[in-house]
């Protein structure tokens, strides 16, 4: 399917059409936090933002998710209702790419029915970046401001309109359903989108040459850099909670009255309890070992298993860290370490 | 689990029998359980070394080794030390009560590859639980192995699990069974001394042999040293690892040692593999 054009004065109608067909999720402010939330057809779409504070992973891998329910003292297990069809509108290419990276893990050997169930029923409409954030480094880890991996449709803001590029069968179907509100895109439109993509790529100010890092990390296991780079760490875990590729979770039972549920929730390798044995022994007793594991997981172990770095360069861990720990600087130290 | 099953949803199981192996604050209780669902029983197939998530609805789940061999019958056994919230709640369960089970998880001891070899188990305390399926499996197929030597120790005679079984085995001529406790006790007729020392006294030949050791980290360290002194090659030495786990099948992230997940790539590892894995003995 060829690219089309959506005039901005028809954005409301486009959003309404999407919302009528499926459960639509768009970036919405909750207090000061921008995150993907369900919206209805009457929403006033606002697609002017840098990136959401909480990555789009929260829609397919919720912060807390019910695995099943039961009644206290009974043995019947009740499964949650089936997944609804969803559309995510306005996803930045880094966050979409992160979902396709995490797909590897959740479909590895044993399929994760909750994650994959949501993924299958989710259509991702992306929005190319034009003003990369100060800590963005997507182009260093295989992405880019207009990367299409993990997206079904890519929108590019042309000023008065959006260029709409369907990328997958799911994306084409979605666009066909909204067919009449689109205009034909001219070759000028395509060219200006291409030019905007290139300009955005040139605006990315931070970078790291990642070649050789996965191979070098094993040799730095006992290196002094881990103590050095984790010295300031408070162990708050924000770097992993807001990371679009972090997928680790805890499983807990919750009881309210006679109703019980088993749920899973985001967990962080930066927490001491994450690896704490019942005996009191902890194989990763300090932030040195936890930081070393976090970097190795993203830039070494995941690469060994799935041949891709588990980092998309969104820069959230850098921007959100209360003590300015910077993953690019850590990687730089890895490269320079003897 | 059955192929089409949701891997997070446990099977219900009924406790057929339960008894204490040891007493005290960190007592060990063994549960013999049967899966309630006939279809689940048909799907279930475990091998020595594999684990299962055992728990209670409303409390939680923890990973335990399956402490019986499939050669023993159509049931499961778990020998569980009371140590935290989940194990405390499990210890309160009695015959007829329902617990949840999902699995089996992880790899297994390569019992087929070991056929024709002399099997030596070296256990300490609750570390005998993952070794017990090997012992039972070899006992049930004794003609297929060159022999079975067991070295098992604990701090006191009261800390020995499966004591009755060991007493029976030590009376047999076709098995080599060595029980030891750390300090002299009145009425104790077996050996006294630490497990690594006992290993040197038994002095097994490395020829055509496999040594498997499980127990407290300090014991494992000295057993490994002594096995090297006895000229066992790294490939002839096996152990199991344990780490905190939540899912059991490689998603939740926490049980890794280096790039290996204990729940999927383990819990059984040869020393040849482990000696190069960072964190393996952390």
Q: Is pLDDT at A82 greater than 90 in this prediction?
A: no
Question: Residue B199 domain-assigned?
Answer: yes
| Residues A18 and A151 both lie in one domain | yes
Non-local (6+) Cβ contacts of A198 within 8 A are: none
| Residues B82 and B193 both lie in one domain | no
* CA distances for B139 relative to B136, B174, B212, angstroms: 5, 10, 16
- Domain of B101: which CATH number? 2.40.30.10
Question: Residue A262 domain-assigned?
Answer: yes
Provide the domain count of chain A: 2
Average confidence score pLDDT of chain B: 95
Over the stretch A238-275, which tens digit does the pLDDT of each residue have? 999 999 999 999 999 999 999 999 999 999 999 999 99
| Residues B60 and B133 both lie in one domain | no
| Residues A145 and A222 both lie in one domain | no
- Nearest residue on chain A to B86, alpha-carbon basis: A278
Shortest CB distance from B250 goes to which of A108, A253, A274? A108
| Residues B51 and B133 both lie in one domain | no
Shortest CB distance from B256 goes to which of A255, A279, A301? A301
| Residues B69 and B140 both lie in one domain | no
CB spacing of A110 vs B259 below 8 angstroms: no
Over the stretch B171-223, which tens digit does the pLDDT of each residue have? 999 999 999 999 999 999 999 999 999 999 999 999 999 999 999 989 999 99
Q: Rounded to an integer, what distance in angstroms lies between the CA atom of residue B121 and that of residue B131?
A: 7
**Which of A149, A169, A202 is at the close of a domain?**
A202
- Domain of B158: which CATH number? 3.40.50.80
How far does the CA of residue B247 sit from the closest CA of chain A (Å)?
8
Question: Residue A287 domain-assigned?
Answer: yes
CB hemisphere CA count around B246 (13 angstroms): 23
Question: Residue B15 domain-assigned?
Answer: yes
Q: Are B181 and B156 in contact (CB under 8 A)?
A: yes
| Residues B136 and B211 both lie in one domain | yes
User: Is residue B276 less than 8 Å (CB to CB) from chain A?
Assistant: no
Residue predicted with more confidence, B262 or A46? B262
DSSP 8-state assignment for residue A8: G
Over the stretch A189-220, which tens digit does the pLDDT of each residue have? 999 999 999 999 999 999 999 999 999 999 99
Mutate to test the interface with A, among B1, B28, B35, B57 (most CBs of A within 10 A): B57
**pTM score of the predicted model:** 0.94
- Domain of residue B52 covers 11-105
User: Is residue A305 less than 8 Å (CB to CB) from chain B?
Assistant: yes
| Residues A155 and A247 both lie in one domain | no
| Residues A274 and A225 both lie in one domain | yes
Q: Rounded to an integer, what distance in angstroms lies between the CA atom of residue B178 and that of residue B124?
A: 12
ipTM comes to 0.92
Q: Is pLDDT at B239 greater than 90 in this prediction?
A: yes
User: Is residue A107 less than 8 Å (CB to CB) from chain B?
Assistant: no
| Residues B124 and B47 both lie in one domain | no
Question: Residue B208 domain-assigned?
Answer: yes
Over the stretch B110-139, which tens digit does the pLDDT of each residue have? 999 999 999 999 999 999 999 999 999 999
Q: Rounded to an integer, what distance in angstroms lies between the CA atom of residue A64 and that of residue B121?
A: 43
Q: Which two tokens stand for residue B82?
A: 């009371």
- Domain of residue A315 covers 213-336
Q: Rounded to an integer, what distance in angstroms lies between the CA atom of residue A260 and that of residue A315?
A: 38
| Residues B235 and B157 both lie in one domain | yes
């Amino acid at each position: 399917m060829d690219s089309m054009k959506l005039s901005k004065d028809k954005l409301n109608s486009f959003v309404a059409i999407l919302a009528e067909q499926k459960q639509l999720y768009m970036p919405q402010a909750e207090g000061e936090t921008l995150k993907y939330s369900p919206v209805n057809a009457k929403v006033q779409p606002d697609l002017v933002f840098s990136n959401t504070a909480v990555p789009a992973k929260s829609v397919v891998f919720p912060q807390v998710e019910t695995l099943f329910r039961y009644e206290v003292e009974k043995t019947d297990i009740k499964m949650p209702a089936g997944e609804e069809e969803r559309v995510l509108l306005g996803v930045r290419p880094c966050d979409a790419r992160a979902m396709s990276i995490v797909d590897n893990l959740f479909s590895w050997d044993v399929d994760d029915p909750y994650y994959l169930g949501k993924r299958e029923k989710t259509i991702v409409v992306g929005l190319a970046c034009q003003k990369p954030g100060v800590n963005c480094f997507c182009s260093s880890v295989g992405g880019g401001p207009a990367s299409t991996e993990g997206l079904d449709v890519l929108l590019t803001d042309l000023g008065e309109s959006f260029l709409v590029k369907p990328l997958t069968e799911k994306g084409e179907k979605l666009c066909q359903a909204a067919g009449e509100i689109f205009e034909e895109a001219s070759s000028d439109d395509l060219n200006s989108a291409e030019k905007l993509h290139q300009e955005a790529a040139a605006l990315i100010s931070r970078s790291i040459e990642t070649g050789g890092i996965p191979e070098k990390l094993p040799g730095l296991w006992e290196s002094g850099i881990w103590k050095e780079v984790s010295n300031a760490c408070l162990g708050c875990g924000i770097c992993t909670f807001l990371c679009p590729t972090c997928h680790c979770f805890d499983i807990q039972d919750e009881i309210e009255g006679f109703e019980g549920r088993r749920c899973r929730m985001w967990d962080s390798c930066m927490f001491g309890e994450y690896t704490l044995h019942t005996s009191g022994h902890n194989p990763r007793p300090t932030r040195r070992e936890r930081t070393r594991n976090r970097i190795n997981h993203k830039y070494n172990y995941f690469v060994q298993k799935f041949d891709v770095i588990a980092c998309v360069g969104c820069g959230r861990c850098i921007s959100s860290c209360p003590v300015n720990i910077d993953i690019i600087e850590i990687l730089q130290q890895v490269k320079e370490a003897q | 689990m059955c192929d089409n099953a949701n891997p997070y949803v446990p099977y219900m199981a009924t406790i057929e029998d339960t008894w204490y192996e040891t007493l005290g604050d960190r007592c060990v209780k063994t549960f013999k359980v049967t899966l309630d669902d006939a279809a689940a029983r048909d799907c279930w197939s475990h091998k020595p070394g594999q684990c299962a998530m055992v728990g209670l609805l409303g409390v939680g789940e923890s990973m335990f080794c399956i402490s019986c061999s499939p050669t023993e019958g159509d049931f499961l056994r778990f020998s569980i030390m009371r140590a935290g919230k989940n194990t405390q709640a499990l210890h309160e369960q009695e015959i007829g009560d329902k617990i949840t089970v999902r699995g089996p998880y992880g790899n297994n001891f390569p019992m087929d590859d070991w056929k024709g070899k002399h099997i030596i188990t070296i256990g300490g305390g609750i570390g005998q639980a993952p070794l017990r399926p090997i012992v039972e499996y070899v006992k049930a197929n004794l003609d297929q192995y060159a022999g079975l030597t067991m070295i098992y120790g604990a701090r006191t005679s009261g800390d020995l699990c499966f004591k009755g079984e060991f007493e029976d085995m030590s009376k047999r001529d076709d098995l080599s069974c060595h029980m030891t406790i750390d300090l002299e006790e009145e009425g104790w007729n077996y050996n006294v001394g630490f497990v690594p020392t006992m290993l040197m006294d038994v002095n097994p030949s490395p020829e055509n042999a496999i040594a498997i050791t499980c127990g407290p980290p300090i014991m494992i360290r000295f057993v490994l040293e002594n096995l090297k002194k006895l000229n066992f090659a790294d490939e002839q030495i096996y152990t199991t690892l344990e780490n905190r786990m939540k899912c059991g099948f490689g998603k939740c992230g926490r049980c890794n040692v280096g790039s290996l997940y204990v729940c999927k790539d383990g819990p059984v590892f040869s020393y040849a593999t482990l000696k190069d894995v960072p964190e393996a003995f952390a």
